[in-house]
Amino acid sequence: MRTQVGIIGAGPAGLILSKLLHDAGIDNVVLERRSADYVLGRVRAGVLERGTVDLLDRAGVSKRLHREGLIHRGIDIAFEGSRHRIDFADLTNGAVTIYGQTEITRDLMQALEARAWSPLYDAEALRVEDFGSRRPRVVFRRDGREEMLTCDFVAGCDGFHGVSRENLPPGALTTYERAYPFGWLGVLSETPPVSDELIYVNHERGFALCSMRSPTLSRYYVQCSLEDRVEDWPDERFWEELKLRLGPETASGLVTGPALEKSIATLRSFVAEPMRFGKLFLAGDAAHIVPPTGAKGLNLAAADVRCLADALIAFFRSGSTEMLDGYSDRCLARVWKAERFSWWMTSLLHLFPENGAFDRKLQLAELEYLVSSRAASTALAENYVGLPF
């Protein structure tokens, strides 16, 4: 099998890249080791920066997003029994859009299928060969047989555990990582959100987050121990703990219900440098992970494929390698700013087991400064809505 660009992974990053390249007349093949139903079943983030929405506009897959997405012009920061609004519109003239990653994936799938351009599902990439040559190859398994995809370029959009990064020779990468000593227990429920905008909670019992996917679908999180299991958290315990962290005033408006989905996520910061190796380019979680506190994961992946699509289109139209050569540096400059912001938000809002009374007082002092200083609030708002390209 022969194509111009081989794309490993049919998450939003891989599908956006495929659609942009297809619209530019560039042949590409997407390999996805899971089934289409499995990909659509994954529950993921849904806070979109303006730049991500613009990219989906460009890809021609944003009609339903604009019809159903929720525009949020601020967030609430809650601590010491009070809620404080960070007004994005006033501070930056910006906003974010709430629209689930699953829905983005669905829109992209349908748009590609309408062009008779569908990923190869149940096609597991096994290795990338000769990515330093003119014709790299992706060896994959489908229907129990090994097959080969020969390309001009390979885009590794296959996530943190994918084969793209793992295939690299020893010493090719420099990695940076921080693991956090707690997890997030998340619950999806068919209930109206407790607030029109997201609430980030710093509480002496631990962090909490009130989010949503739609006016009738809520997503809630509480900080939990890494020793916890989902079975340790029946619905009743979850809702009672969330109410304690929200406080009586906010909790009085909380509508509870059966959990449609419940899971525990670990938090980490991770960056792999560089993001290019000959004809192989890493994008999204294959190259970097951020804790979800700053809502940057999906947005960083979209920024990567925006840069990569522009670079590939420029190459196939003019033969210029300038943008391809600058891909890694350009992406990493944005990645590290997002890593800093996500680390800062995580450090500000969570209870760290190793911290004592002094650290707690410093955390509260920083929160007080954040909500009382326009400059500090603006810095948060600028990063949250998305830094300019």
- Residue-wise pLDDT for 103-161, tens only, equals 999 999 999 999 888 899 999 999 999 999 999 999 999 999 999 999 999 999 999 99
Q: Which is catalytic among the residues 19, 72, 279, 288?
A: 72
Q: Which is catalytic among the residues 200, 220, 221, 327?
A: 200
Q: Is 72 labeled as catalytic in the residue annotation?
A: yes
Q: Which is catalytic among the residues 19, 203, 288, 296?
A: 296
Q: Which residues contact 340 (CB under 8 A, 6 or more apart)?
A: none
Burial 287-321 (b: 16+ CB within 10 A, else e): bbbbbbbbbbbbbbbbbbbbbbbbbbbbbbeeeee
CB atoms within 10 A of CB 276: 20
Q: For 166-218, how does the pLDDT look when each residue is reduced to its tens digit (9 = 90+)?
A: 989 889 999 999 999 999 999 999 999 999 999 999 999 999 999 999 999 99
Q: Is 384 labeled as catalytic in the residue annotation?
A: yes
Q: Which is catalytic among the residues 119, 292, 327, 350?
A: 292
* % pLDDT > 70, the chain: 99
Helices 101-114 and 12-23: crossing angle, nearest 10°?
30
Q: Compute the distance between CA of residue 117 and CA of residue 157 in angstroms, rounded to an integer.
A: 18
pLDDT, position 43: 66
Q: Is 200 labeled as catalytic in the residue annotation?
A: yes
List the domains of the chain with CATH numbers.
5-70+97-177+268-345 (3.50.50.60), 180-267+351-385 (3.30.9.10)
Q: For 40-75, how does the pLDDT look when each residue is reduced to its tens digit (9 = 90+)?
A: 887 676 899 999 999 999 999 999 999 999 999 999
Q: Is 296 labeled as catalytic in the residue annotation?
A: yes
Q: Say if residue 274 is preceded by a cis peptide, omega within 30 of 0.
A: yes
